[in-house]
A = this chain, B = another copy of it.
Amino acid sequence: MPSVQATARFVHNVMDEHSGRIIMSPPLVSLDLPDVWAPKFTCSDPLTTDDDSKEGDAVVIDGKLIAEQIRLGIANEVRRMKDSIRKIPGLAVIMIGDRKDSQTYVRNKIKACEETGIKSLLAELPNDCSEDEVLRALSSFNKDPSIHGILVQLPLPDHLDEERILNVLSLEKDVDGFHPVNMGDLAMRGREPLFIPCTPKGCIELLIRLGVEIMGKKAVVIGRSNIVGLPTFLLLQRHHATVSVVHAFTKNPEDITLEADIVISAAGVPNLVRGSWLKPGAVVIDVGTYPVEDPDSEHGYSLLGDVCYEEAMKVASAITPVPGGVGPMTIAMLLSNTLDAAKRAYDFS
């Protein structure tokens, strides 16, 4: 069983840098295995057998580096598409209001498109725009054949009905994977969604590239949002982990996380996960990005994760930092979904 090791080596394992064609790990969506029941009564083996590990030696999972590798592969594919059929993928972003964190996310997404050769369009609407204005922008992108992916930056201002808006988004362009059909197809065995939501997809891609075995492991997802917690649960279960979902109504959540080989935290609660919540050797993916004012930072705020990083470092075998862990992966997965959408639209493989 592979244990968690330094990042770079595994990136090379799954990516053919010469052709640049293998962008995502092949078994990302699911491993199709029959449910043959053969309960074992022996103790499960821990994720790492490194019993003489010293304190403070968790591998820092360099999401930024891995995301860069993936973006490089995507840029190669975009170039190949352009050379072959004279088309490039196109992403449209609809941003409503002036939330600083949303502005940063959108800016980063647009920039990442430019760097990989993906066309991007941005529709910025004021905080007090009407639902009709949003739906008009959405409809025009739905119809635009040069646009293959559309995302509506969430959260929306309170007066807008997220469900009504997302329902209008063309299923074939739902690169965020938030349409209920995509979610239903992700949930149901024997079906495949058109798109996997970007953040969960990025988390699993990190685990696969790190060589972390998921099948048969105990995983805990903290948080049950539509955007992260729910699809992360569904995706981990597709990989045959035994998954528990912890949320705000869970009593003694640490009792559950303490048993987990893999902890993916997406609660948005700074320092929720203490070192004492973790099983020694666990792999910890921190999705939390809680913005706090920070006059020293370029954009006036910085981000806090869900995990007490210093404490967790001493217990976990691998951990993602915030920022620089899951964030860059989310953007890379958005580009990957947009590329996939364009390939499907042009029947290009």
Chain B residue at smallest Cβ distance from A240: B249
Query: For the complex formed by this chain, how many copies does it contain in all?
Result: 2
| A97 interface contact, C-beta 8 A | no
Give complex CA distance A199, B191 in Å: 21
- Taking CB atoms, residues of chain B closer than 8 Å to A33 are 249
* Mask of A242-268 contacts with B, CB within 8 angstroms, 1/0: 111111111111111001000000010
Which of these binds chain B: A34-42, A60-68, A77-85?
A34-42
A315 to chain B, nearest CB (A): 18
| A72 interface contact, C-beta 8 A | no
* Mask of A162-198 contacts with B, CB within 8 angstroms, 1/0: 1100000000000000011111110111110000000
| A140 interface contact, C-beta 8 A | no
Chain B residue at smallest Cβ distance from A259: B255
Give complex CA distance A178, B225 in Å: 22
Chain B residue at smallest Cβ distance from A253: B39
A residues contacting B by CB (< 8 A) are 33-44, 162-163, 179-185, 187-191, 215-216, 223-226, 230, 234, 237, 240-256, 259, 267, 269, 272
Closest 6 CB pairs of A and B: A180-B184, A184-B184, A244-B244, A44-B251, A183-B184, A35-B248
